[in-house]
């Protein structure tokens, strides 16, 4: 194998390793973000009251906060203090899955 071929092979290996490391780190960050959203003690998920772009987390159409496309969508939610959602007209309380 020529020097140039060895250099290309080493460079390719470094790029692949760097990509793999970056992927693993990104997965860890995403997993941590999901846990942070799920762990709001003293708050409840309240749907149907979100302004466009102000939702707290994803739904069936997207996976991120801040992506609600219009106001008051029934499947877009945000966290409110416990007991608050039932006081808001048009709001729906999301029940925790058991």
pLDDT for the residue 82: 93
Measure Cα distances from 95 to 25, 28, 58, 81 in Å.
32, 27, 16, 14
Per-residue pLDDT of 6-18, as tens digits, reads 666 767 777 676 6
pLDDT, tens digit (0-9, with 9 covering 90-100), for 13-57? 776 766 666 665 666 555 444 444 554 789 998 888 888 876 777
Domain positions in the chain: 1-39, 42-98
pTM for this structure?
0.51
């Amino acid at each position: 194998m020529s020097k140039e071929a060895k250099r290309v092979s080493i460079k390719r290996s470094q790029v692949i390793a760097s990509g793999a490391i970056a992927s693993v780190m990104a997965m860890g960050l995403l997993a941590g973000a999901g846990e942070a959203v799920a762990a709001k003690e003293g708050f409840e998920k309240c749907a149907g009251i979100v302004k466009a772009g102000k939702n707290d987390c994803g739904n069936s159409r997207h996976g991120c906060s801040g992506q609600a496309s219009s106001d008051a969508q029934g499947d877009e939610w945000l966290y409110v203090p416990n007991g608050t959602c039932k006081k808001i007209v048009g709001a729906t309380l999301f029940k925790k899955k058991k």
